[in-house]
């Protein structure tokens, strides 16, 4: 009897230990992240405040929150770029998805090498959605464009030309900075 009790206890302990390991292990293998960016571009309504990325089922969805996503403008245009790094061995992003922040403006996905756009705009699956009532811009890039990399990371840049003589830009976490690497999940 004593042995049986001991075994049961051991099993429970082992189960708890495994559960604990799974929880501890989660961040290293997480396919999503969310991080704040400071209010450091207050001259623009589009000051980046949070970036959330999810890389799952070989699709990438990135939500970027700004202070106030006003999609009608009586000044110059504003734009946002999502950079996607899918290859550690090559400097800079492999893809850029850029969009205007005013209603009716277009978006474009291009390949990049050493931080320069190369080739024609891509026609594989991708989309940008402006969600003004949530002050959010949603970027989506599908498998056909990404090519199923085991991991990727993203960077975000906003440029506001409302007052053309005083352009305002804001990079998530700093110039040419990145989120952490996200596993394919």
Residue 164 DSSP class: T
Of the candidate residues 85, 96, 107, 109, the single one contacting Ca ion (CB under 5 A) = 85
The smaller minimum CB distance to Ca ion, of residues 17 and 39, is found at 39
The smaller minimum CB distance to Ca ion, of residues 22 and 68, is found at 68
Residue 146 beta carbon to Ca ion: minimum distance, rounded to whole angstroms: 13
Q: Which stretch binds Ca ion (CB under 5 A): 61-69, 80-88, 114-122, 140-148?
A: 80-88
> From CA 35, how far away is CA 119, in angstroms rounded?
32
Q: Determine if 40 is a binding residue for Ca ion (CB under 5 A).
A: yes
> From CA 38, how far away is CA 80, in angstroms rounded?
17
Across-strand partners of 109? 97
Of the candidate residues 54, 157, 170, 179, the single one contacting Ca ion (CB under 5 A) = 170
Residue 141 phi, psi (nearest 5): -130, 125
The smaller minimum CB distance to Ca ion, of residues 11 and 36, is found at 36
Q: What letters, b where the CB count within 10 A reaches 16 and e where it falls short, cover 36-54?
A: ebeeebeebbbbbbebbbb
Write out the residues near Ca ion by the rule CB under 5 A. 37, 40-41, 47-48, 85, 87, 90, 170
């Amino acid at each position: 009897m004593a042995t049986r009790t001991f075994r049961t206890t051991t099993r429970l302990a082992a189960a708890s230990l495994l559960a604990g390991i799974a929880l501890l292990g989660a961040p290293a293998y997480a396919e999503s992240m969310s991080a704040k960016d400071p209010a450091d571009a207050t001259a623009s309504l589009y000051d980046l405040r949070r970036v959330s990325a999810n890389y799952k089922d070989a699709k990438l969805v990135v939500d970027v929150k700004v202070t106030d996503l006003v999609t009608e403008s009586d000044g110059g245009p504003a734009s946002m770029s999502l950079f996607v790094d899918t290859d550690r061995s090559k400097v800079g992003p492999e893809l850029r998805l850029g969009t205007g922040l005013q209603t009716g403006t277009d978006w474009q996905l291009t390949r990049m090498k050493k931080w320069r756009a190369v080739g024609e705009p891509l026609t594989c699956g991708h989309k940008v959605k402006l969600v003004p009532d949530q002050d959010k811009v949603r970027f989506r890039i599908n498998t056909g464009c990404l090519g199923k990399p085991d991991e990727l990371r993203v960077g975000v840049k906003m440029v506001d030309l409302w007052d053309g003589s005083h352009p305002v830009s804001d990079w998530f976490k700093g110039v040419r900075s990145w989120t952490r690497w996200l596993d394919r999940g």
